[in-house]
Structure 1
Amino acid sequence: MTSIAIGLLATACAAIARFVMDAIVPGAAIFPLIFPAAMIATLFARWPAGATSGTISVLYGWYYLFPVKNSWRFESPAQAVTMGSVVVGVILTVALAEMFRRAVRSAAAERDREVAERDLFLEEFDHRVKNNFTLVASLLDMQRRRAGEGETADALQAALSRVESIARAHRHLYRGSGTAPGSVDMASYLGELCTALSEALFLRGAITLDCYSDHAAIPRDRAVSIGLVVNELVTNAVKHAFPGRDAGRISVRFEATENGWRLTVSDNGTGMSEAKRTKGRDGGMGTRLIDAFARQAHGTVSTQSTAEGTTVTVELEA
């Protein structure tokens, strides 16, 4: 019923267009509108709709318009050949439109199947990657616990934090949070990262970590690098910014600028001593890591330190 209804609708539209043309140029172009009407009806509602539209249009034109009005007879063999050509043309139009419609549906079904297979593959890949991250993090944490106290334990803790930062970006990438494919929403990512850092570094009450981020869809690799910069800077601030103090504040801000984005990590600690500044200029391990991660994120690092605290700014290109 739906196919027939659409066929009748296409026929009515063709008839209206025919009446308009006939009002402008009486008797001209009797049959051309039959073909697009039949084709459109077929594409929208399969061949029965096209056959309905074509049959009604041909019979109407034959009886009321050509060759003799209000009659089925022909005045010459040429008129019969003309009408036969119109019928064959309508049949071919409906057949070709139906073939095209089926080809499109088949291609769409194949595409949907490929998309479903890809989604299944990505889901399996995501599951395996998460398991691998979990395994690596567990091994590092086990080694850290066995190491007890000292530089080895600190190094393992730093490595563990970096692995967890990368894993967190991976989770945001495959979570489908409304960002573009391959991108990470920085507001969600940095918020979760700061929460995890607060728990991992045992920040409770006296030393607080504040985090603010504009919503920005950043490509995965750059988001990972930015997260690693935040991880290094916050960890360094916790370790070195508040010697002999029980209270302090660390702030992380990620904001859009005219030329890209700006990441700022600041604290209200005691500032950097001359020895630490010299070591930083000479390229200590922490400084080299931060510079390397910043370059991967297409950013440049600048540091300001006074007796009231330290501020590290990373200017990121768009």
Structure 2
Amino acid sequence: MERLFLLAARSRGLPIWARYSATTLIVLACFGLRLLVFGWGPGQPYLLFFPAVILAGVFFDRGTGVYAALLSSLLAVCFMVQPQGILRIADPTDLLALLLFLAISVFTAFLLESLHIALTSLARERTSLAAANAELAGVAKARGTLLSEAVHRARNDLQRLAATLRLQAGAAVEPAARQVLAEASGRIMGLARINARLDYHREDGHAEVAIRGFLEGLIQDIREVALNLAPVALVVRAEDHLVPMARAVPIGLSVNELVGNALKYAFPGDMEGQVVIGFRREGEDFILTVEDNGIGSDGAVAPHGSGLGTRIARALAGQLGGHLESGSAFPGSNRPGLRWVMRFPCHGPA
């Protein structure tokens, strides 16, 4: 029905004389059909005129629908209502039937006009909505392109800065200064890797990251860079949640620091081991865990070094609106290990 009304939009634009002439022909056709079916008898004088009213209302307008009803009434009264051949109604029942036919026909004509207006308005709104959706899709695509470009430029800048620090570390005379510059370069490269993974795992142009794929990619990067330190397996056991990019950065930096500490200090010599990175949701909080089965620690500071990595991880937890705690992963065993647990709200500061 909707398609029929939309197709009739062209016929509604015809000149007035064309619409009313066509309506007259439709009424005469219905009159001929009435004579063919019932003859000149008085029975059912109005029944086959209803299609004329409906066709005029659908393909033209309510004016032609009312005109079809009046013309049909005129023909029915003249030729099918007693006394036949004159414009007069003798029987009150026939008068009631005429009034009923006119009332129903006029109501039908106005109803069809209202339906046409509603469907035309709906079609226009659909067209406008489709255009708006196309425009929004274009904006989203452009935003995604700009975001990717920004991430790419930031990654390049970070890589250049890390390379500069490595050169300075190689030229430094003091071992302490060389170590500090090398660690700074490593952290900047870690941030560059995080930026690369953020862009890779970003969802459909939106500023959100699928956290499981992000962590798996980040751990793969760490594995390629750092596993020459010890024969340690890195395992990711993460639920998949969408996390804003602004919050994914401190999450990735925390993982980089905590896993880096585990690889440096939890497995001295050629000790084999495993580091498990977990991510899950509990109620309104996200839980990030980094657990190893190494030699263990008191949890307050790293076994060796300055403890800067731990302090950075705690600061990042605070930036997320949460906190970082540590404890033995396997208390009582000869390899108690260390478990870091970061809890922070799902929705909060970045």
Same fold (TM over 0.5): yes
What's 1:154 paired with? 183
Q: Counterparts in 2 of 1:2-151, with a 5 A limit? A: 3-4=3-4, 50-51=58-59, 86=107, 89=110, 92-93=113-114, 96-97=117-118, 99-146=120-167, 147-148=169-170, 150-151=179-180
Counterpart code for 2:311 = R
Structure 2 equivalent of residue 296 of structure 1: 319
Distance (whole Å) between structure 1 residues aligned to residue 299 and residue 119 of structure 2: 81
Moved over 6 A (4+): 5-8, 52-64, 66-76, 78-84, 277-280
**TM-score, normalised to structure 1's length?**
0.67
Are 1:209 and 2:234 matched, yes or no? yes
Match for residue 186 of structure 1 among 170, 187, 211: 211
Return the letter of the residue paired with 2:252. Answer: G
SS of the equivalent of 2:227 reads: coil
Q: What is the aligned counterpart of 2:280 among 255, 261, 268?
A: 255
1:233–1:265 CA contact under 8 A, matched in 2 = yes
Between the two proteins, the alignment pairs up a number of residues equal to 276
The answer to whether the Cα contact below 8 Å between 1:133 and 1:167 also exists between their aligned partners in 2 is no
User: Measured at CA, do residues 191 and 274 of structure 1 come closer, stay the same or move farther in structure 2, by a change above 3 Å?
Assistant: closer
Provide the identity percentage.
23
Deviation, structure 1 residue 252: 1.0
Query: Distance between the aligned counterparts of 2:135 and 2:182, measured in 1?
Result: 47
Q: Decide whether the 8 Å contact of 2:265 with 2:304 is kept in 1.
A: no
Q: Confirm whether residue 265 of structure 1 aligns to residue 282 of structure 2.
A: no
The CA deviation string for residues 256-279 of structure 1, in whole angstroms up to 9 with x for no partner, is: 334533221122222236994699
The two structures, once aligned, show a CA RMSD in angstroms of 4.7
- 1:266-285 alignment, distance < 5 Å: 266-272=291-297, 276=301, 284-285=307-308
2:253 maps to 1:228: yes
List gaps (5 residues or longer) in structure 2. Answer: 9-49, 80-85, 90-97, 171-177
2:343 corresponding residue in structure 1: 315
CA distance in 1, matches of 2:264, 2:320: 25
Does the C-alpha gap of structure 1 residues 85 and 276 become closer, same or farther in structure 2, counting only changes over 3 Å? closer
Distance in 2 separating the partners of 1:316 and 1:86: 65
Larger radius of gyration: 2
Corresponding letter in the other structure for 1:286: G
Letter paired with 2:197? R
Amino acid at match of 1:292: A
> Residue type matched to 1:136 in 2?
D
In the alignment, which residue of structure 1 is the partner of 2:173?
Answer: none
Match of 1:286 among 300, 309, 312: 309
Contact in 2 for aligned 1:249/1:268 (Cα 8 Å): yes
